[in-house]
Amino acid sequence: MLQRIEHYEDKMTYYTDLAMGYATEYGLKILGALLIFFIGKWIARKIVALMRKGMERTRVDPTLISFASNALYVALIIIIIVTAISNIGVETTSFVAVFGAAGLAIGLALKDTLANVGAAVLIIFFRPFKVGDFIEASGVMGNVKSINLFSTTLTTTDNRSIIIPNGALIAGNIINYTGNLTRRIDMTFQIDYKDDLRVAKEVVMNVLQSHEKVLKEPEAVVAVGALERDGVQLIVRPWVAVDDYWDVMFEITESVKLEFDKHKITVPFPQMDLHLKKEDL
């Protein structure tokens, strides 16, 4: 009986020593892994918060801010987890291989969709336009209504909604009409050859100078553009604030027509004169 007790005590001592050995060997590694995870998670949140503030300061679309923040946070957490596991002594090569294979499979299955997401990321960082801008892209024109992960929605001047995939949007030229603070209005008028050219130019310039929304700098231009078959072409180039573009263009067009009528200046139109010759039978 005494031998059994001594044998039992020896086994307990053995397992206790073994447990203490494992605790001593791996305890610090586990503690280090936990520290890596929690400290890394705190740092990841700080990095994501800084990125969000920077993007909000540059007025990036909120949907894209959320997407970019979540994507960065997930990527950082994966890196932190792999680093913490490797600190314990676990081989992480297999984890990296699994993540790589899964990423490749998902990428091949969602190639077109991910292309649109990638295009959204490019729009975030390069900012060729933002919500509210009036742009021309993919053969259509309109105000940018919204930008999401996969597409951009434009609202046309006649209130139609056009949804363009982000990949197709950045694949071609993008014209941002409201990207700058000022914009030039390109207008042309024609007068008859019998009218006084100097008077016509003075009339148009007076209309431009009297309009309160036409900018003084850069200076407006009124010049002869061409001598057309039907009349003399006047090139008119006033500068306005971007938001005033359409209103000023319509108002100047109307004012020039009224002033031409007041000064008896003719706006020619295509016409044909037929002369019938009567032959003796």
Tens of pLDDT, residues 168-184:
888 889 999 988 899 99
Q: Which residue has the higher pLDDT, 198 or 117?
A: 198
- Mean pLDDT, residues 29-57 taken together: 83
- Residue 243, pLDDT above cutoff 80: yes
Q: Mean pLDDT across the stretch 41-49? A: 88
Nearest to 69 by CA among 40, 89, 46: 46
d(CA 134, CA 175): 9
* Per-residue pLDDT reduced to its tens digit, 196-228: 999 999 999 999 999 999 999 999 999 999 998
* Helix runs in 58-183, H state only: 62-88, 93-109, 111-126, 166-171
CATH number of 2-109: 1.10.287.1260
Name the least confident of 53-62, 83-92, 96-105, 229-238. 96-105
pLDDT at residue 271, as a whole number: 66
- DSSP string computed for 133-149: -EEEETTEEEEEEEE-S
In this model, does residue 139 exceed pLDDT 50?
yes
Tokens of 34: 């936990």
Contacts of 254 (CB under 8 A, 6+ apart): none
Average pLDDT, the chain: 81
Measured in degrees and rounded to the nearest 5, phi and psi for residue 214 equal -80, 125
Q: Global pTM? A: 0.59
Residue range 182-262, CATH number: 3.30.70.100
271 membership: H or E segment, kind and range? none
Q: Select from 3.40.50.300, 2.60.120.10, 3.20.20.70, 2.30.30.60 the CATH code of 129-176.
A: 2.30.30.60
| Among 36-50, 116-130, 247-261, the least confident range | 116-130
The pLDDT, as a whole number, for residue 120 is 77
- The answer on pLDDT for 1 being more than 80 is no
Rounded to the nearest 5 percent, the helix, strand and coil shares of the chain are 55, 20, 25
Residues 87, 36 contacting (CB under 8 angstroms): yes
Map out the domains of the chain as residue ranges. 2-109, 129-176, 182-262
What is the rounded average pLDDT of the residues 113-134? 80
Q: Which pLDDT score, from 0 to 100, does residue 2 have?
A: 44
Higher pLDDT, 229 or 219: 219
- Average pLDDT of 236-242? 95
The pLDDT of residue 25 is 59
